[in-house]
Every structure is written in structure tokens, then in C-alpha cells.
Amino acid sequence: MSIQRGKEFFAFKKNAMNKEKPKKQKTKKVLEMVVVNPYSAGIDISDKEHVVAVAEGLSDKRVRAFGSMTSDLEELASWLEACEIETVAMESTGVYWQSLFQLLVSRGFEVYLVNAANIKNVTGRKDDENDAMWIQKLHSCGLLRSSYLPEEQQDALRTLTRYRRTLTEDCSRFVNRMQKALELMNIKFHTVINDIMGKSGTAVIEAIIEGERDARNFLPFIDPRIKAIPETIVKSLEGNWRSDHLFTLKESYTMYKIYRERITACDMEIEKHLQRWEASCNEGEISAKNDKAKEEKEVKQTKKRKPKNYPPFDGRAYLKKIHRVDVLAIFGLSEIGGLELLAETGTDLSKWKNEKHFVSWLNLCPNNKISGGKLISSKLFNKHPNPASQAFRHAANTIQRSDNWLGEFFRKKKKKGGNKYAIVATANKIASIYYKLVRFKQEFTPVDITDYQAKLKQATINQLERKLSRLKAGQLSEDKVV
């Protein structure tokens, strides 16, 4: 019986093995991200149309397109309110986002203005999905962060300072065209004097436009402070006087005067905004008014005049009252640079965690790429510096021959990596000092240049001594082997 049962058991096992086993269904492993902002929306901005996407289940239509007119923007905001949207993300496309951004903020939405490059850097099927849906998807998962945005008062001043810079650049172009017209007529007067738009240069150009052609008749217009001798001036004012070049000279000078008038009007508007800002910082008091008698007295005492491209008002006094610290005490920082920094960064620098984050935003530090504990690259980001970064770079460039510790620091960096490297490194140093002054209200305390030079000398000595000790240790090990 036992043998029979054994045969039956093996036959049963064989039949069971021959039966086809049911195939296991393959399950796809899907990595789902946690939704941080369930009531979020994404907006793709353009000039004529704004495409809006909301999360699934909040509306019958997940994606809708709206026009860019004011009534269309109102309809867009009302639809977002009907969908119970709390936070919105949009791309910073040109200036098309500003009107919609201000409207949504006034309606109580939390609005993220996102750099388009940050959206593209996130891995995903952006080409296969609608741009607005992709922005909404990233924002719902908390993968987007908003760009730095100024407050309303700061934004108004920033608009004016940027417009003033544009006017100044355009004005300089017409000065270059005047120089070109003189050069084409072989008038070398612009090589004899430093500035053709000074007192003597302006008088000579006006006389040429009025019809004067005799070179010796221009001598009464020359200021006695001009170092060139009269014979050289006369030779420089002899040319061919072609009519076409005279016409371009006249037109360029006319446009130059128009731009100077517009710059003056812009300066007046900037001063009004500075007075309002100072009043808001000092409980309605305005103490930095333009006192001409006081300014003339200070000019006589210092025997220095403001450059002609500077604003006519006392910008240093306004900056000191608004910041409650003298930021222009930093070496190399001018009034125009201080105004541009106020307009671009404001007075609240706590939006940047520390000076390193501030310098990184200015693109004044290396973009270190580290892999496996090794530094692969440390180049700067290849992007155009913003106006604040340009102000710090200009300040760094002006102190390269200065007799102070920052000038010594510039020359040390220039010896190491060249002029461009020194400008970025010194601008980094100035920006760090500016951050500490404005945020923590610390007065600028410059380092004594003698102490700084002695410190650099001692550091060089220590470095050479370490190198010498390594060379001696290597020589001793070689002698032992021999």
C-alpha cells in the first residue's frame, strides 16, 4: 500500500507541475510627489493671451485662455476666485506680467513670479504638455520659488533710475556722433580738450553751427584753463567744413540739449520720490532738501564740483536719512551708484539670508560645480549683470589706483588673475560691506592701509616659509634614499 501511495503522490505532483501557472501582472512603479499647494494655478504669459491652468477637480475646464485687456484680466481673476485658488505661479515674460501681477496681488492671491530658466531646468515632459499645466504641476508640488520683487515705493524709484540711465546712454551716443562729425571734417578740436561738452567745447560748437569758419575767431571762446597753446588750438579748428557733416553736427547737438533737459526733468522727479521715501522713514519729516546756499558753501570749502552727469540735489543726504547709515562712505561708491542700489535692492536686505546669498544674487561669486569632492568648474554665470551688480563693479573699477586698503586688495587680485578677475573680486568685497552696513546699520570702518599691507606681507612670508620647509623635507628624504 505504501508503494502504491508513493506512486500516486508523484503522479499528482507531476500533473500539478505540468499545469500552466497563471502569469503575474506587471505593475508599473510610479513615483508620486506630495502635493504642497492643492489650490494652485499656473499662468503662461504672452502679449495677447494668458493661458491659465488649475488643478483637476476645481473646475469643468482645467485650462482656459484669456485676453490681455483690462476687462480680460478682471475676468481671469474672478475665475480664479470661483475656483478657490490660493496661490498662482507665472513666468516673468518681458513686462507683460506686471499688470496681471498687480491685479492678482490686489485681489489677495499669493503670486509667484518665476524665472523661465528655472522651469526649464526641472526635468519633465514640458513639450508634451501645455505650458500652463506644467507650471501649475510644478507649483502644486512646491518646486518653484518666486523671484525678488521690489515694493511699490522702491519699484517707482527703480523705474525712474533705469530711465535716467537710458537717457544718459542715449545722450552719450549723440556726443560720440558730434565727435565723429568733427573728425570727418578733419576738425581735431576734440583731441585738444578733454570734454567737447564743457564750457569751451560747447561755445566752439555753437559758433560753428552759427556759421563761424575762421579758426582764429574761436580763440575768445577758449577758457584760460585750457593747457593747449593758441597755435595748437587754431590748427585743430581748421577743416573742410562739408555741409553734410555740419548738418549732422547741428542735429546731434540739438538732440544732446533735448536729452540734457529730459535728464534734468527726470532728476526732479527722482528727488520728489526720495522726499516721499525719506518722509515715510522719518515720520513725515523731510530734512534733506536742496539748500543751494548750503551747497555753494560746501563747494567753496571743498573746492570740488559735482560731475555734470550727477543729479543736482544732495543725494548723499537723502541716502543717509533713508538708510540711517552713510553708505557712500564706502570707497568707490558714488551718488548715482548709491541711488541705483537703493532703487534695485531697497532698504530691507533681510530678504537675502546673509551677504553670501546677496553676492550670489548679484552674480559676483563663482558658480562652483563640485563632483566627487573635486571642484570641476568655478566660472561665473554667463548672464548680463543687473544694475545693482553694475554699480558695484563700477565702484570696484574706480578704486584700482586709490590709496586705501580696498585699492590694495584690487591690485593684489589683479596681479593674481587680471583686471576682470580683480573687478569681480573687489565688487564682491564692496557688496558684502554694503550688505552689513544697510542691514545691521553698521558704520563703515576702513582698515588702515599700513596694517593691511603689513598683514599681506606677513602672509606672503608665511607662504614662502611653508614652501621652503616642504622643499627641505623633500631634500632630506632624497638623501636618505641615496
| Tens digits of residue pLDDT in 257-287 | 999 999 999 999 999 999 999 988 776 666 5
pLDDT value of position 111: 93
pLDDT confidence of 16, banded at 50, 70, 90? low
Q: Is 304 strand, coil or helix?
A: coil
Q: pLDDT exceeding 70 applies to what percent of the chain?
A: 85
Q: Is the pLDDT of residue 478 over 90?
A: no
Report the relative pairing of strands 110-114 and 87-91 from DSSP bridges. parallel
pLDDT value of position 302: 45
More confident residue, 251 or 93: 251
More confident residue, 119 or 39: 39
- Give mean pLDDT, residues 169-179: 94
- Give mean pLDDT, residues 386-401: 93
pLDDT value of position 479: 62
Between CA 410 and CA 91, with CA 431 as vertex, the angle to 5 degrees is 130
pLDDT confidence of 249, banded at 50, 70, 90? very high
Q: Are 405 and 439 in contact (CB under 8 A)?
A: no
Chain-wide mean pLDDT for the chain?
Answer: 85
- Give mean pLDDT, residues 368-378: 73
pLDDT confidence of 293, banded at 50, 70, 90? very low
Q: Are 336 and 302 in contact (CB under 8 A)?
A: no
Alpha-carbon gap, residue 391 to 351, rounded angstroms: 20
| Tens digits of residue pLDDT in 126-173 | 544 578 888 888 888 888 888 888 888 899 999 999 999 999 999 999
pLDDT value of position 167: 96
| Tens digits of residue pLDDT in 313-331 | 999 999 999 999 999 999 9
| Tens digits of residue pLDDT in 397-445 | 999 999 999 999 999 999 988 999 999 999 999 999 999 999 999 899 9
- Give mean pLDDT, residues 243-260: 95
Q: Is the pLDDT of residue 125 over 70?
A: no
Query: Long-range contact list for 185-191, CB < 8 A, 24+ apart?
Result: 185/239, 185/240, 185/241, 185/242, 185/245, 185/246, 186/238, 186/239, 186/240, 187/236, 187/237, 187/238, 187/239, 188/235, 188/236, 189/233, 189/236, 189/237, 191/236
Distances (CA, A) of 118 to 63, 90, 132, 385, 462: 22, 12, 15, 18, 45
- Give mean pLDDT, residues 17-26: 52
The domain 40-140: what is its CATH number?
Answer: 3.30.420.40
Alpha-carbon gap, residue 215 to 301, rounded angstroms: 39
